[in-house]
Amino acid sequence: MSQPAHEPRKTLDPDRVAEWLARHPDFFVGREGLLQQLKVPHPDTQGATSLLERLVHDLRRRAEGAEWRLEQLLESARHNEAQYRRTRELVLALLEAEDNDALGQALATQLSERFQTPAVALWCPSSLTDRDLQPPQAPRHVLDEHTGQRLAALLDGRASRCTKLTPTDWKRLIPHIKAPAKSGSCTIARLTLGEPQGYLILASQDPDYFRASMDTLFTEYLADILVRLSLRLGERGHD
* Helices and strands, number each (H, E), in the chain: 8, 7
**Dist. CA 198–CA 233, nearest whole Å:** 16
DSSP element (H, E) containing 124: strand 119-125
Instruction: Work out the average pLDDT over 219-228.
Output: 96
* Together in a domain, 150 and 196: yes
The verdict on residue 167 lying in a domain is yes
* Together in a domain, 44 and 117: no
**Mean pLDDT of all residues belonging to the chain:** 86
Residue 142 CA, chain-centre distance (Å), reads 32
End-to-end CA distance of the chain: 127
**Dist. CA 90–CA 113, nearest whole Å:** 10
* Together in a domain, 138 and 183: yes
Does the predicted TM-score (pTM) go above 0.85? no
Asked whether residue 130 carries a pLDDT value surpassing 60, the answer given is no
Q: Which domain holds residue 119?
A: 111-238
So what's the pLDDT on residue 149?
A: 95
